[in-house]
């Protein structure tokens, strides 16, 4: 779910109560496909958090729904050295207590 303006149809992320494009306050959470493209990434080898296995890929992905609609995330279920800019990925959710984190994995053709 990503906030979307019901007046101009622009997706709004991070979520805010007013559309930055048309200033409408008619912004509601809307389902999205969960498909994206890797636009930037780094392979992290530093264990910043206990129990976080390294190396891991921290990335910016752009959702298919709109140019510029980006999320910061982790790329999972792939060798970190195999990740590349332009790679098609899809969302997978990982539960951490009561929160579900959107992570992304390679999308098979």
- What is the phi-psi region of residue 65: left when phi exceeds 0, alpha when psi lies from -120 to 50, beta otherwise? alpha
Check pLDDT > 90 for residue 78: yes
Residue 52: its pLDDT value, please? 83
pLDDT greater than 80 at residue 37: yes
For domain 33-109, give the fold.
OB fold (Dihydrolipoamide Acetyltransferase, E2P) (2.40.50)
Strand partners, 99: 96
pLDDT at position 56 is: 95
Q: What is the predicted pLDDT for the residue at 63? A: 98
d(CA 99, CA 39): 25
Q: Which residues of 69-100 are buried (b: 16+ CB within 10 A; e: fewer)?
A: bbbebbbeeeebeebeeebebebeeeeeeeee
Please state the rounded mean pLDDT for residues 67-86. 97
The proportion of the chain whose per-residue pLDDT surpasses 90, expressed as a percent, equals 90
Nearest to residue 36, comparing CAs of 77, 73, 82? 73
* Three-state secondary-structure class, residue 102: strand
Domain borders along the chain are 1-31, 33-109
Position 109 pLDDT exceeds 80? no
């Amino acid at each position: 779910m990503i906030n979307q303006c019901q007046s101009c149809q622009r997706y709004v992320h991070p979520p805010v109560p007013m559309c930055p494009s048309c200033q409408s306050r008619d912004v509601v959470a809307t389902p999205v496909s969960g498909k994206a493209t890797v636009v930037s990434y780094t392979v992290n080898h530093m264990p910043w958090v206990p129990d976080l296995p390294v190396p891991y890929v921290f990335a910016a992905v752009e959702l298919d729904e709109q140019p510029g609609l980006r999320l910061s995330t982790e790329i999972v279920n792939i060798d970190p050295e195999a990740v590349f800019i332009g790679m098609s990925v899809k969302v997978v959710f990982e539960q951490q207590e009561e929160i579900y984190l959107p992570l992304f994995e390679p999308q098979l053709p």
